Structures are given as structure tokens and as C-alpha cells.
């Protein structure tokens, strides 16, 4: 697993089962930095002082470092997407990586600091982070999730706001706080949690659900809706639950 060292700004390879690390969950911008961008930059200056790079990367390292964590994983810059094998392995491992993280920082770029998230019509309630496909597993997999506002100050934690997050997403509080296993929810229920979420790539509608069903399949971009069909076929093969057809 490729992680960012929050002190040096360098990439390091670590065993996720033996390493204490944090992860960043975010909605992608139009331009995100690649591992190549990061390697080129961090050879010149530490990432938190290199203003050629995304403030998102610098700030996520700062927040993790100040909380006492040496390493952080950020999907946009820690996966080499030019390697199809690395991309496929990362997508199939991502749910476990989020689940093993000490804390997941959910960066809500459109939520101002100081706002009461429970207030009717709050920016927290309408944050696009709750409408993206990939953030579903990033919300569920880690036990500890800390929501951050657009200026990187803490809004609250998943545990403290579980009832509100259930209201926003339709995901039961027991699933959010790991009081019940995902296997205790029907296939149709789990699929319904993703029904109103969107992904940029059609195939990611399926790939963003792999961890929710504890399924591994090869990732093949370019196949369009066939990816979701392959996911459904694997669910039927491995999960003794016919509610998939009702859904």
C-alpha cells in the first residue's frame, strides 16, 4: 500500500495490516494530482510548503500530522492509475483499506465552518459528498469518521452525528456505527443506499459497491453497464439472497 509520509511528503510502501494510518475521503476536483506530480514536487520541497500542489493534499497531511499520525492515504495521489493492475488491486482492496484506517477524514468542500449541521437546510445536509458513489464505502467502512468543513475545521464525527447521517443517506445508524454487520442487511437494502448516488464513470457504479458486498471482480473500464451486470452476477453466485431481483 502506497502511503504519504505526513512529515517528509514522500511516498512509502507499507503493510496496511501493520501500519497506523489515516485516509482522506473527498469529492474529486476537475484536476487531481497524480503520484508522478507528488514525486516530482516532494523531491524539491515538503508538500505542506509546496504551493504548486493542491491545498487539499497539504491540508490533509497537516490535519493528520497534528493529530499524531505519520501516514495518510489519499486515493487521488496514492494510486498510479496508469497501471491497470495497480488500479484494479487498489479498487478491490479499498474497502479493507478504509476499514483498517485509524480515522477517515471526510472533507466537505462546500460546508462552511461554524454552521450547525443539524439545522434544516444546512450545507452539511446538502453536501455533494453524500451524493457521490465512492463515498458510500468511505462512510461505512471506517469506524471512525471525522467530518471537516471547507476550512478544515471539525464539524463532528460519524458516531456523534449518526442519526443525522442516517436521515441524509438512508443508511441505518446500526450499519454506520458497526453495531450490525452488512451481511445482516438484504442485498436490496444495500443497493438502495447507492440508488441516488452518482459516479463520473459508468463502471464505477459497480466498482464502488464491491466492498459493500465483500466481492472482488476484475475492473475493466470501457465496458459501461456490463460492469454492473458482472457485479449482479457475482452477488447472485455468492450471496444467498434473492432480494436483488426485487430491487
Examine the domain organization and report whether 20 and 133 are in the same domain: yes
Task: Tell the burial category of 150 from Cβ atoms under 10 Å away from its Cβ (0-12, 13-18, 19+).
Answer: middle
pLDDT of residue 182: 96
What is the count of structural domains for the chain?
Answer: 2
Examine the domain organization and report whether 51 and 157 are in the same domain: yes
Mind listing the pLDDT tens digit for each residue in 91-109?
999 999 999 999 999 999 9
Q: For residue 153, how many C-alpha atoms fall within 13 Å in the half-sphere facing its CB?
A: 6
Examine the domain organization and report whether 138 and 234 are in the same domain: no
pLDDT of residue 70: 97
pLDDT at 44 over 50: no
Taking the C-alpha atoms of residue 55 and residue 182, their distance in angstroms, rounded to an integer, is 35
Of the three residues 179, 202, 232, the one that is the final residue of a domain is: 179
Rounded mean pLDDT, 73-81 = 93
Examine the domain organization and report whether 174 and 200 are in the same domain: no
SS3 119: coil
pLDDT of residue 54: 80
Using 50, 70 and 90 to split pLDDT, how confident is the model at 17? very high
Examine the domain organization and report whether 34 and 110 are in the same domain: yes
Examine the domain organization and report whether 84 and 18 are in the same domain: yes
Taking the C-alpha atoms of residue 23 and residue 92, their distance in angstroms, rounded to an integer, is 16
Taking the C-alpha atoms of residue 35 and residue 115, their distance in angstroms, rounded to an integer, is 35
pLDDT of residue 43: 46
pLDDT at 30 over 90: no
Taking the C-alpha atoms of residue 121 and residue 5, their distance in angstroms, rounded to an integer, is 38
pLDDT of residue 87: 94
Mind listing the pLDDT tens digit for each residue in 99-155?
999 999 999 999 999 999 999 999 999 999 999 999 999 999 999 999 999 999 999
Of the three residues 179, 200, 225, the one that is the final residue of a domain is: 179
Mind listing the pLDDT tens digit for each residue in 216-241?
999 999 999 999 999 999 999 988 87
Q: Are 238 and 230 in contact (CB under 8 A)?
A: no
H or E segment and range at residue 25: strand 21-25
Examine the domain organization and report whether 221 and 116 are in the same domain: no
Examine the domain organization and report whether 174 and 201 are in the same domain: no
Mind listing the pLDDT tens digit for each residue in 154-190?
999 999 999 999 999 999 999 999 999 999 999 999 9
pLDDT of residue 99: 97
pLDDT of residue 194: 96
How much is the mean pLDDT over the chain?
A: 91
What domain range includes position 120?
Answer: 2-179
- pLDDT above 90 covers a percentage of the chain that reads 81
* Of 132, 131, 129, the residue nearest 147 (C-alpha): 129
Grid coordinates in use for 126? 446538502
Examine the domain organization and report whether 208 and 135 are in the same domain: no
Of the three residues 179, 194, 219, the one that is the final residue of a domain is: 179
Examine the domain organization and report whether 110 and 201 are in the same domain: no
Examine the domain organization and report whether 125 and 186 are in the same domain: no
Examine the domain organization and report whether 43 and 149 are in the same domain: yes
pLDDT of residue 83: 93
pLDDT of residue 29: 77
Amino acid at each position: 500500500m502506497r502511503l504519504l509520509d505526513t512529515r517528509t511528503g514522500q511516498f512509502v510502501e507499507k503493510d496496511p495490516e501493520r501500519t497506523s494510518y489515516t485516509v482522506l475521503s473527498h469529492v474529486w476536483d476537475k484536476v487531481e494530482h497524480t503520484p508522478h506530480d507528488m514525486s516530482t514536487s516532494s523531491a524539491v520541497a515538503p508538500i505542506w510548503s509546496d504551493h504548486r500542489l493542491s491545498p487539499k493534499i497539504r491540508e490533509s497531511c497537516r490535519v493528520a500530522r497534528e493529530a499524531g499520525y505519520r501516514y495518510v492515504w489519499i486515493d487521488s495521489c496514492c494510486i498510479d492509475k496508469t497501471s491497470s493492475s495497480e488500479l484494479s488491486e487498489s479498487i478491490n482492496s479499498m474497502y479493507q483499506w478504509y476499514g483498517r484506517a485509524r480515522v477517515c477524514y471526510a472533507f466537505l468542500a462546500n460546508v462552511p465552518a461554524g454552521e450547525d449541521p443539524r439545522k434544516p437546510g444546512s450545507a452539511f445536509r446538502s453536501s455533494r459528498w453524500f451524493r457521490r458513489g465512492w463515498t458510500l464505502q468511505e462512510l461505512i467502512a471506517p469506524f471512525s469518521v471525522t467530518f471537516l468543513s471547507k476550512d478544515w475545521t471539525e464539524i463532528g464525527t460519524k458516531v456523534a452525528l449518526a442519526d443525522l447521517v442516517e436521515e441524509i443517506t438512508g443508511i441505518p445508524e446500526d450499519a454506520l456505527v458497526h453495531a450490525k454487520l452488512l451481511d445482516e442487511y438484504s442485498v436490496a437494502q444495500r443497493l438502495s443506499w447507492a440508488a441516488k448516488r452518482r459516479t463520473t464513470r459508468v463502471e464505477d457504479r459497480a466498482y464502488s459497491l464491491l466492498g459493500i458486498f465483500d466481492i472482488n471482480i476484475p475492473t475493466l473500464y470501457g465496458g459501461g453497464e456490463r460492469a454492473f451486470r458482472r457485479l449482479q452476477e457475482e452477488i447472485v453466485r455468492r450471496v444467498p439472497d434473492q432480494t436483488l431481483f426485487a430491487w
